[in-house]
Structure 1
Amino acid sequence: MGPLLCLWIAVFIGLGQGCPESCNCVKKTYGRQLAECAYKDLQAVPVGLPSNVTTLTLSANRITALQQSSFLEVTQVTSLWLAHNEISAIDEGTFARLLHLKNIDLSHNQITDFPWGDLHNLSALQLLKMNNNHMAQLPREAFRTLKDLRSLWLNDNKFTTIAEGTLDAMSSLSQLQIYNNPFDCSCGLLWLKRWAENTLISIPEQDAIRCAAPDSLRGVALGRIPDLQCAPPSVQLAYHPNLDSAELHDGLVFMLHCSARGSPPPEISWKIQTSSQGMELNGPNVTRDGNDLSAGNSKQGTERFLLFHNGTLVIPNFSKREEGTYTCLATNEVGTRKVSISLALASSESPADDLLRNNLAASKLGAKNCYKEGQAKSSVAGEELVIIYRVPAKMGSSDAGALLEAQLWASVLCLAIFLYC
């Protein structure tokens, strides 16, 4: 049984180190092996490849998709050639285990979505060819670990922009091909023009790096576009209560207005963090302008927050549930600015306890200023604490005394916050 067992082991190892029928495997020095599988009309990566393959050629086939399991047999591969296939789908994790990969050619395929996170594991990569595909999205962090990359081919895709900082990590880069992309030559791409004018990196066919937008610059080479008037956003936040009432009752309407300037005009969004949840409002949910807050708006009864086209955020029924931090973000191609405000509700029934509690919350939030809800205030930076008094519908003399006590505690609280900060 001993010799027979050894024979089975030898056969198993032999099969494991075999070569697919559609490929030609050639042993090279130091135990390395070349698997030549080009021009074989393959529709998928063949199975049964030797585990010591370091060069795998699959070019000029009919492969349409790559899965996580496609290269599990050849994790020692250093050169992977996949050009001139029909690849349109690549699963996340397909290349993540190929830690020794130095060269990969994915050019002349039909790739639209690439698993950019896989590149973060390929720190040994020196050549990356992705030209002649249909890719349009390039994350800013795509190449952050590729310090040894020397040649990057992105030409003949559908990229409209490249974010500033995308190329910074590639300290060994000597060649960059980005021509024949439909670039949007607006403020967000001005950095690339300046960078190309000063870099020592070879950028072939610079006259073919042209604008597809805006219409006024269509067909103009990147290096010839004029300087644009660009400015990052500046943002201001104003707030005030419902001014239709002399007294503010339970369920008061509170309004925050975010105004922003910049070139190009910024887009406004809101982040809301209450004690129970966080949410983002990235677009208006009310069709009318923020200046029109008529009482007949039926939506105020169904929506917890109303966001208008002009950046106004309305809280139709402010209560303890709506306490939290409200952040307005203004974003354009040049940058992002934000300003925050923290809202807390103090009950006139027990102002001392409520305000002391709000004091602790404010200190954690890093509040800088304190304003009563009856004041209108604009803020351009930092974070403020606004205390809103809940006033009963009918106020007697005792209630008035409670409100006076609340106002006194508010003054003490403002001083405490100021000293804390």
Structure 2
Amino acid sequence: MMGPFLCLWTATFFVMSQECPEPCTCVEKKYGRQLAECAYRDLQGVPTGLPSNVTTLTLSANKITSLQQSSFLEVTQVQSLWLAHNEICAIEEGTFARLLHLKNIDLSNNQLADFPWGDLYNLSTLQLLKMNNNQLVKLPWEAFHTLKDLRSLWINDNKFTTIAQGTFDAMSSLSQLQIYNNPFNCTCRLLWLKSWAENTLISIPKRDSISCAAPESLRGVPLGRIPDLQCTPPSVQLTCHPNLDNTVLYDGLTLMLHCSVTGSPQPEIRWEIQTPIQGTEINGPNVERDKNDLSTGGSKHSAERFLVYGNGTLVIPHLSKHEEGTYTCLATNEVGTRKVSVNVALANSENPAEDLLRNNLATSKLGAKHCNKEAQANSSQAGEKLVIIYRVPAGMGSSDGGTLLESRLWACMFCLVVFLYC
């Protein structure tokens, strides 16, 4: 009576053994699960021919150097993927994106300098992620935003110099976080991590090994022991010249916009210019010159439409219809960004405010007559837009339809506050 059953069992075992690649050992588990054991086999790549019902795939301690999109197409039901102690230095984008059932992945002790972070977006069931002992440098702040079930994250012993605020916020199930032995740059950008680590209930081992590699004055100091840094977001004040009513302006009007900023660390300034023809961005000064020489309007640089100096001043050497538009000064440091804008317009009518309204600019009540606008660090608005209108009296327009201010102009300036949301 045992003969038929023995034959059936032998046939089943033979089929199962045929489905398992020769370098690996496949073991049937309960409930249809299957383990594919391929560790310590000197493999240089993921073997093909794996059973489709594999839920645990062990590829640790091999000589695998890279992973491709096709590496795991045969095992899309896999729940645990062990890849530690290989030589992996490259992972193609999309390699893990189809492994929707993945709960555990171990990529520790490899040579990864980069990772396709977007692949984690689909791995919403992930519970364990080990990426420690690699060469990873950049960690996008949104990398873990879909991993609400993740319980343990190991990113220690990498090359991370900073971690963006909010990186761990979405992982509501996280109970263990290992981030020690990274060369952190302990500036204002990382100060949030000190406070967060002191107040979180998440287990963070080896806190004294979460230390600073820079700046030099803090080298070797544990993050939790660094002194409070003086960190303040930028505040911005924008002034312009000429900025008074009834000012006589001559041929080739020069308009100067000065962006004065404060903050700690010292903010960097950049200008964004949007004219009807094109948008321009100027990062830092494009003129090397003594700021005391600005009143000349940059005569040596008259061919340039926009001149930006090291003290934050932007000069428009020849204001014309081509230079109408929005001029935005942005100040950025490690704590935040603030910006203030001015709209510069040339009007030919007797009522330039009506011209501006006809151009569908959202305006509010009249403000001061001086071009002086400030965006404070604690302002509820990220910045405000100041509108400056230079009126060209009737009969005094330029010969080419207003492209150059070739005749004498009377400045008529209206400051209209327009809220500009970031």
With the length of structure 2 as denominator, give the TM-score of the two structures: 0.81
Pairing 1:7-406 to 2, within 5 Å after superposition: 18-241=19-242, 246-249=248-251, 252-293=253-294, 294=296, 297-301=299-303, 303-346=304-347, 348=348, 350-351=349-350, 355-361=353-359, 363-364=361-362, 375-380=370-375, 381-390=383-392, 392=396
> Take 2:365 and 2:110, find their aligned partners in 1: how far apart are those partners?
56
Deviation at 1:111, TM superposition (A): 1.2
Q: Deviations over 1:332-377 (max 9, x none)?
A: 122222222222222x3x455x65342144534x5665677xx543
> Take 1:34 and 1:248, find their aligned partners in 2: how far apart are those partners?
85
Deviation at 1:215, TM superposition (A): 1.3
- The runs of 5 or more residues in structure 1 that have no matched partner are 1-13, 396-401
Which structure: greater helix fraction?
1
Determine if contact 1:368/1:385 at 8 Å carries over to the other structure: no
Corresponding pairs, count? 385
Structure 2 vs 1, CA of residues 229 and 40 (structure 1 numbering), >3 Å: closer, same or farther?
same
Determine if contact 1:340/1:382 at 8 Å carries over to the other structure: yes
Identity of aligned residues (%): 68
Q: Secondary structure at the match of 2:261?
A: strand
Deviation at 1:189, TM superposition (A): 1.8
> Take 1:72 and 1:300, find their aligned partners in 2: how far apart are those partners?
63
> Take 1:284 and 1:23, find their aligned partners in 2: how far apart are those partners?
62
| Counterpart residue type for residue 100 of structure 2 | L
Aligned equivalent of 1:6: none
> Take 1:202 and 1:394, find their aligned partners in 2: how far apart are those partners?
72
Structure 2 vs 1, CA of residues 240 and 179 (structure 1 numbering), >3 Å: closer, same or farther?
same
> Take 1:50 and 1:168, find their aligned partners in 2: how far apart are those partners?
38
Deviation at 1:175, TM superposition (A): 0.5
| Counterpart residue type for residue 357 of structure 2 | N
> Take 2:366 and 2:385, find their aligned partners in 1: how far apart are those partners?
8
Deviation at 1:305, TM superposition (A): 2.6
| Counterpart residue type for residue 159 of structure 1 | F
Structure 2 vs 1, CA of residues 341 and 376 (structure 1 numbering), >3 Å: closer, same or farther?
closer
Aligned alpha-carbon RMSD (Å) = 3.2
> Take 2:118 and 2:366, find their aligned partners in 1: how far apart are those partners?
43
> Take 1:176 and 1:87, find their aligned partners in 2: how far apart are those partners?
23
With the length of structure 1 as denominator, give the TM-score of the two structures: 0.81
Q: Deviations over 1:272-324 (max 9, x none)?
A: 333343343333322335553345654441x4332222222223333333332
> Take 2:291 and 2:364, find their aligned partners in 1: how far apart are those partners?
27
> Take 1:30 and 1:93, find their aligned partners in 2: how far apart are those partners?
29
Deviation at 1:247, TM superposition (A): 2.0
| Counterpart residue type for residue 138 of structure 1 | L
> Take 2:256 and 2:77, find their aligned partners in 1: how far apart are those partners?
61
Q: Which moved more, 1:89-98 or 1:289-298?
A: 289-298
| Counterpart residue type for residue 97 of structure 1 | R
Determine if contact 1:371/1:387 at 8 Å carries over to the other structure: no
> Take 2:298 and 2:336, find their aligned partners in 1: how far apart are those partners?
38
| Counterpart residue type for residue 326 of structure 1 | Y
Aligned equivalent of 1:399: none
> Take 2:365 and 2:136, find their aligned partners in 1: how far apart are those partners?
46
| Counterpart residue type for residue 363 of structure 1 | L
Aligned equivalent of 1:398: none
Deviation at 1:219, TM superposition (A): 0.7
Determine if contact 2:257/2:314 at 8 Å carries over to the other structure: yes
> Take 1:292 and 1:242, find their aligned partners in 2: how far apart are those partners?
19
Deviation at 1:88, TM superposition (A): 1.6
Determine if contact 2:340/2:373 at 8 Å carries over to the other structure: no
Determine if contact 1:254/1:314 at 8 Å carries over to the other structure: yes
Determine if contact 2:188/2:229 at 8 Å carries over to the other structure: yes
> Take 2:223 and 2:319, find their aligned partners in 1: how far apart are those partners?
51
| Counterpart residue type for residue 182 of structure 2 | N
Q: Secondary structure at the match of 2:329?
A: strand
Q: Deviations over 1:61-85 (max 9, x none)?
A: 2222222222222222211111111
> Take 1:266 and 1:334, find their aligned partners in 2: how far apart are those partners?
9
> Take 1:240 and 1:340, find their aligned partners in 2: how far apart are those partners?
15
Deviation at 1:92, TM superposition (A): 2.1
